[in-house]
Structure 1
Amino acid sequence: MTTSSFLPVFPAKAPAPIPRVLSIAGSDPSGGAGIQADLKSIAAHGGYGMAAITALTAQNTRGVTAVHVPPAGFLTAQLDAISEDITVDAVKIGMLGDAAVIDAVRSWLGKARPAVVVVDPVMVSTSGDRLLQESGEAALHALLPYADLITPNLAELAVLLGEPCARDWAAALEQGKRLAALTGTTVLVKGGHLDAGGSGGSSSYGEAGPGGGCPDALVNTAGLLARDVVVVPGERVPTRNSHGTGCTLSSALATVQAAAILQAGNTLPAAGDWEAALRVVKPWLQEALRTSGELDVGTGSGPVHHFHHVQPHTRDHGAAAAARGPAAGEFAAALREAAGGDLDAIYGLDFIRGLADGTLAQKEFAYYLAQDALYLNGYSRVLARAAAMAPTEAEQLFWARSAQNCLEVESELHRSWLDGRAAGVKPGPVTKSYVDHLLAASASGSYPVLVAAVLPCFWLYAEVGEALHARFVAAGAPEVHPYAEWLRTYADEEFAAATRQAVAYADAAARASSAGERDAMVLAFRQSCRYEVDFFDAPRLHA
């Protein structure tokens, strides 16, 4: 796929407000958890991080060997110094140490009243170390109602309820409901610590993904969510490097939530939309886990890679190059190179080989068509959002026409192939996750990020279609091929032209963006590419 040699440069947009996020937590000298992880996570999501230290620890990737809790009065002095001078848009609360420290934080929250409060009740580390004295548990219970979101690991969830630790996903969700009812706030139940088999099943609350998955769920019995339990499925990343994952997740959620409220001009309710925030943060954290080995830190459970989405600069490509931005076509070329592995993966799928040579099972093709029709319905809504956000009339018209095409042309084609058999079909786990990812990009408020997220459905689909059609023609276009009519649709030059235009708009948006926003574009694009691979492979798993 080629891009235009000339692309317009759009006027720079007013910068989005930067959320000021305060972490109240313990310090980790190894840099993987606590305050250090929080500040990295806040920065990775575009926030300005601040820190009030509650405890000093001696720890590394193998465990905690000592904890020192400074006087609670000194913590109060830190908190007062910050709030007397700086507006705090969000607070993440982590390790608190003892009852006096917890009482100091609760007293300060009563005075400061920050808009977003996330409590990660650090009581038991992943390695099993006890990080809160038992005498502090009652004080912690008094603090929890001040939170907008509570993010315990499964061991902490059990301790807060005085119950045994949940052994499966259904039991964990029930415990989350009990804690939500007890505190009157939203609880994030995390499936990361369940055995691969235990976290992978489904429950009455929604799909938790296939075996080996890693679901998370937002739970609130007081009607603050779309449902009492909102399950967000995800993949389980095989790695030993999970040090600081809870700290990282909670501070990222606080930052994204605060950014959304600021972006909306403080018109969102104080509770905001935790589901949207989780759908933004979860893919980022999965990639931070997946790339954690690149850091090579420690001999135990190493830290996650908070800045995996930031491309390193050489001496010749420093701040000046970032300020200058990529040349015309350069960003698009980098995206195409990044998608090479995903395209190779698609071409290697049994589904694609069977579609090309006509041996694909009818039930797999029917599943693919039904899911594609459902996907296109959601995709059209996201394209309509891109039209509303576009900075020029030409782009507005392009994305609006693309949204209309999804509904009126491609969906009609699917209905004719399916002959009404798609009625009542529900989105599969990949379809739902892919659409949720696009909706999260739409909710980010960034037009460049949204354009990057929708691009693979144009670009990869066009390239795969061109390759399939070429194979079909090379084989003599046999009429006995069961998918002959479908393969001919891939030769549509109008779609190829639309794809070239979408690539050009994404390239232009990158040129008008900051380096940080371009990094976010790359992350959104890569996530969509992976979903494209999974979408083509889904019929084999679910048909």
Structure 2
Amino acid sequence: MNSAYHSVLTIAGSDSGGCAGIQADIKSISANGAFAASVITATTAQNTRGVFDIHAIPVSHIRKQLIVVLEDIEFGAIKIGMLHSAEVIEMVKKTLREYPVKNIVLDPVMVATSGDRLLNKAALNSLKSFLSDAYLITPNIPEAEILIDKKIDFNNIVDAAKEIGNTFKTSVLLKGGHLEGSDQMTDTLFVYEIQKTVFVHNKRIQTKNTHGTGCTLSSAIAAQLSLGLHLEEAVKKACSYLNKTIVQGKDRILGMGNGPVEHFPK
């Protein structure tokens, strides 16, 4: 008996250092038991110390990549990472609407580790108009604050997750890693369809090896959705996986800057 792959398409940029972006996505999807296909939106000259150059792929070529894989392969989920311009965002939105895609997991990358915004106003507005197409979005605290234009802390994180979900009509995993002051890290999942809030707890790990954690988590969730898990279970399994990758990678050395997680934990 032949059996089909559980496939995930990742749409994102390439990280030449291998810690984040498409490279992290493929490792995470594979580690979670699914098959990874990819559409590359940009290449970067990047290592553990930073991003030194970005080369945007022509929009027409990004669209061609999308069309040929979507016409040939059935995907159980689609993971979307950084889309660097309004033109790219609008094209990806338009193209995906031409196909019967499902389970879009969108990581709304808007803020660099330095705190600098990565998207201009036009791109941000395009991204906001795209969020309702997603099944789940996975903002961190700085990104969530941009989406609702207010500060977020321990006291209002649940209300913030609900506001984002109901504003953009999508489920939200609001990642709590930027909230200091606790040995426990809590991510807040708001399931839009049933207006349910779920907390996912993991021990906070002290390490500088967290380069690519957002890519890794969103890709793991997409992989678990492609395997047939419902959203709450997929998120919990993916968060548990990410925690293991951080624990097992916390003392490993790659390069001279912020290293990656261990994508294939034992």
Residue by residue, what CA displacement relative to the aligned partner does 1:114-169 show, whole Å, maximum 9, x if unpaired?
121100011113343433333201110111010000001111111122334x2x22
Which of 137, 149, 153 is 2:136 aligned to?
149
Superposition deviation, residue 76 in structure 1: 0.4
- Residue of structure 1 in register with 2:204 after alignment: 236
More strand by share: 2
Structure 2, unpaired ranges of 5+: none
Q: Are 1:174 and 2:159 counterparts?
A: yes
Q: For 1:83 and 1:306, how far apart are their aligned partners in 2?
A: 27
In the alignment of these two chains, the number of paired residues is 266
**In the alignment, residue 218 of structure 1 is paired with which amino acid?**
L
Which of 159, 180, 184 is 1:213 aligned to?
184
Residue by residue, what CA displacement relative to the aligned partner does 1:508-527 show, whole Å, maximum 9, x if unpaired?
xxxxxxxxxxxxxxxxxxxx
Superposition deviation, residue 108 in structure 1: 1.4
- Residue of structure 1 in register with 2:60 after alignment: 73
Q: For 2:263 and 2:111, how far apart are their aligned partners in 1?
A: 22
- Residue of structure 1 in register with 2:225 after alignment: 257
Q: Are 1:102 and 2:89 counterparts?
A: yes
Superposition deviation, residue 294 in structure 1: 5.3
- Residue of structure 2 in register with 1:26 after alignment: 13
- Residue of structure 2 in register with 1:267 after alignment: none
Residue by residue, what CA displacement relative to the aligned partner does 1:316-344 show, whole Å, maximum 9, x if unpaired?
xxxxxxxxxxxxxxxxxxxxxxxxxxxxx
SS in 2 for 1:287: helix
Q: For 2:7 and 2:139, how far apart are their aligned partners in 1?
A: 23
SS in 2 for 1:50: strand
Superposition deviation, residue 66 in structure 1: 2.4
- Residue of structure 2 in register with 1:307 after alignment: 264
Which is higher, the Rg of structure 1 or of structure 2? Answer: 1
Superposition deviation, residue 16 in structure 1: 7.6
SS in 1 for 2:150: coil
Specify which structure has the bigger relative contact order, considering alpha-carbon pairs within 8 angstroms and separated by 6 or more residues. 2
Superposition deviation, residue 301 in structure 1: 1.5
More helix by share: 1
Which of 41, 44, 68 is 1:54 aligned to?
41
- Residue of structure 1 in register with 2:169 after alignment: 184
Structure 1, unpaired ranges of 5+: 1-13, 201-211, 262-272, 310-543
Q: For 1:249 and 1:233, how far apart are their aligned partners in 2?
A: 14
**In the alignment, residue 297 of structure 1 is paired with which amino acid?**
L
Which of 240, 246, 249 is 1:292 aligned to?
249
SS in 2 for 1:155: helix
Q: For 2:113 and 2:239, how far apart are their aligned partners in 1?
A: 19
Q: Are 1:276 and 2:223 counterparts?
A: no
Q: Are 1:37 and 2:24 counterparts?
A: yes
- Residue of structure 1 in register with 2:50 after alignment: 63
Superposition deviation, residue 238 in structure 1: 1.3
Give 1:491-530 correspondences, 5 Å limit.
Answer: none
Q: For 2:79 and 2:95, how far apart are their aligned partners in 1?
A: 13
- Residue of structure 2 in register with 1:194 after alignment: 179
Q: Residues 129 and 69 of structure 1: is their aligned pair in 2 closer, same or farther, counting only changes over 3 Å?
A: farther
Q: Return structure 1 stretches of 4+ with deviation > 6 angstroms.
A: none
Superposition deviation, residue 178 in structure 1: 1.1
Superposition deviation, residue 295 in structure 1: 4.0
**In the alignment, residue 87 of structure 1 is paired with which amino acid?**
E
Q: For 1:159 and 1:15, how far apart are their aligned partners in 2?
A: 47
- 8 A contact 1:61–1:299 mirrored in 2: yes
Superposition deviation, residue 191 in structure 1: 1.0
Q: For 1:65 and 1:174, how far apart are their aligned partners in 2?
A: 38
% same residue:
41
Q: Over the residues paired in the alignment, what is the CA RMSD in angstroms? A: 1.8
Q: For 1:44 and 1:127, how far apart are their aligned partners in 2?
A: 29
- 8 A contact 2:172–2:192 mirrored in 1: no
Q: For 2:8 and 2:15, how far apart are their aligned partners in 1?
A: 19
Superposition deviation, residue 67 in structure 1: 2.1
SS in 1 for 2:227: helix
Superposition deviation, residue 220 in structure 1: 3.5
Q: For 1:214 and 1:36, how far apart are their aligned partners in 2?
A: 25
Superposition deviation, residue 42 in structure 1: 0.4
Residue by residue, what CA displacement relative to the aligned partner does 1:14-67 show, whole Å, maximum 9, x if unpaired?
898531100000111100001000000000011110110112222222222222
Q: For 1:194 and 1:243, how far apart are their aligned partners in 2?
A: 18
- 8 A contact 1:95–1:132 mirrored in 2: no
SS in 2 for 1:142: helix
Give 1:449-488 correspondences, 5 Å limit.
Answer: none
Q: For 1:117 and 1:295, how far apart are their aligned partners in 2?
A: 32
Give 1:86-125 correspondences, 5 Å limit.
Answer: 86-125=73-112
